[in-house]
Amino acid sequence: VSEATRDDRVVLRRAPSSRDALALMAAEVREGLSARPLPFLPSKYFYDDRGSALFDEITRLPEYYPTRTEEGILEAVADQVARVTRPREVVELGSGTGRKIRRLLAATARATVRCVLFDVNETFLTDSCRRLARDFPGLEVNGIVGDFTHDLDCLGPGGGRLVVFFAGTIGNLHPDEAVPAFLVRLARQLAPGDAFLVGVDLVKDEARLHAAYNDAAGVTARFNLNILRVVNDRLGADFDLTAFEHVAFYDRARAWIEMRVRARRATRVRIPRADVDLALGEGDEIRTEISAKYTRGTLEARLPGSGLRLEQWLTDADELFALALLRRIA
């Protein structure tokens, strides 16, 4: 970690992947778009300032039950989680606006001396760190600009640590390929007894899932297409956004929502900084996100070998969403 900048009580650090962010992005975009049969773009590239603001708008949509439901569970269990974890340090991965962690910090107040927010979006990270520092006097607030699939070792050794990962963002990692590796890396940053509180969206009625990713106001569609604008802005690409449409569907066999952008007509895209020249036919698609849905059983099945065990499964009355409290085993 380098380039620490200090601003009142906020210390902001940049993880290695954010120092070479453009080179990394060029490599990841090149690799993703050359995948066949289905090219893809890594979903972290949704989140420039416009994308992060659009996500925040999604959280308020009537169809988008995950945020409201997770906040309801958190409200009900925050005191209990605080009591059983008593963390000196709370870390939030993919913190975004940093709203949810406040409920937890209010509950852990006396035990917690440091809070670390971790996100790829530096603007949102800086703002949410400043707001936390203002509203929780006495709390040391650190921000890490980085990628939670590359840079977790920036957290340093654990001990008295509670890591939280809300919004079902873990669902954006491939359940068989990326999740096991992520859990092992995360567990390395935890000392025995440290805890990981992770929000998972649950397998449910497909119509409800479909509606959540195909809202009537079209905000999710704008969020999805924004990834092409980010590639244009950062890598000098010439995606014509009007040539693409939003696609989101539930894949029952894989238990995940998949978002794609589909070419409305044959189109050619050049991405100079990634050395990509892409020809798409009408109807061709690029995957932009998976959002895996879990059950208690399918989440627990990913734990053996990770060094983590499930301690509490906290869910709402309709079992739409769950907070899983995991513990690092000795």
* Cβ distance to ligand SAM smaller for residue 67 or 108: 67
Q: Which stretch binds ligand SAM (CB under 6 A): 2-10, 25-33, 90-98, 314-322?
A: 90-98
Q: How far out from the chain centre does Cα 75 lie?
A: 21
The whole-angstrom separation of Cα 170 and Cα 20 is 24
* Cβ distance to ligand SAM smaller for residue 85 or 172: 172
Q: Are strands 114-119 and 89-93 parallel, antiparallel or unpaired?
A: parallel
* Cβ distance to ligand SAM smaller for residue 74 or 276: 74
Inter-residue contact 243 to 267 (CB < 8 Å): yes
Least separation in angstroms between residue 258's CB and ligand SAM is 16
Cis peptide bond N-terminal to 37, omega within 30: yes
293: contact with ligand SAM by CB under 6 A: no
298: contact with ligand SAM by CB under 6 A: no
Inter-residue contact 326 to 198 (CB < 8 Å): yes
Of 69, 85, 95, 108, the residue at the interface with ligand SAM (CB under 6 A) is 95
The whole-angstrom separation of Cα 246 and Cα 285 is 10
Of 18, 26, 32, 47, the residue at the interface with ligand SAM (CB under 6 A) is 47
Least separation in angstroms between residue 286's CB and ligand SAM is 17
Determine how many CB atoms are found less than 10 A away from the CB of residue 63.
Answer: 17
Of 147, 194, 215, 289, the residue at the interface with ligand SAM (CB under 6 A) is 147
Least separation in angstroms between residue 275's CB and ligand SAM is 23
100: contact with ligand SAM by CB under 6 A: yes
Least separation in angstroms between residue 268's CB and ligand SAM is 29
Record the tokens describing residue 179, joined without a space.
């999740």
169: contact with ligand SAM by CB under 6 A: yes
306: contact with ligand SAM by CB under 6 A: no
Of 40, 64, 148, 239, the residue at the interface with ligand SAM (CB under 6 A) is 148
59: contact with ligand SAM by CB under 6 A: yes
Q: Are strands 89-93 and 161-165 parallel, antiparallel or unpaired?
A: parallel
* Cβ distance to ligand SAM smaller for residue 58 or 278: 58
Least separation in angstroms between residue 116's CB and ligand SAM is 13
Closest CA to 145 of 123, 175, 177, 176: 123
Of 77, 81, 152, 167, the residue at the interface with ligand SAM (CB under 6 A) is 167
The residue at minimum Cβ distance from ligand SAM is 94
Q: Within positions 70 to 89, which residues make up the interface with ligand SAM, using CB under 6 A?
A: none
Inter-residue contact 273 to 21 (CB < 8 Å): no
196: contact with ligand SAM by CB under 6 A: no
* Cβ distance to ligand SAM smaller for residue 100 or 234: 100
* Cβ distance to ligand SAM smaller for residue 169 or 220: 169
> What's the chain's length in residues?
330
- Under 8 Å CB-to-CB from 37, ≥6 apart: which residues? none
Determine how many CB atoms are found less than 10 A away from the CB of residue 38.
Answer: 12
Question: What is the identity of the amino acid at 191?
Answer: A
Locus of tokens 């979903």:
43
Helix (H, G, I), strand (E, B) or coil at 183: helix
3-state class percentages of the chain: helix first, strand second, coil last, to nearest 5:
40, 30, 35
Q: Which helix or strand (DSSP H or E) is residue 127 part of? A: helix 122-135
Binding site for ligand SAM (CB under 6 A): 44, 47, 52, 55, 59, 67, 94-96, 100, 119-121, 147-149, 166-167, 169
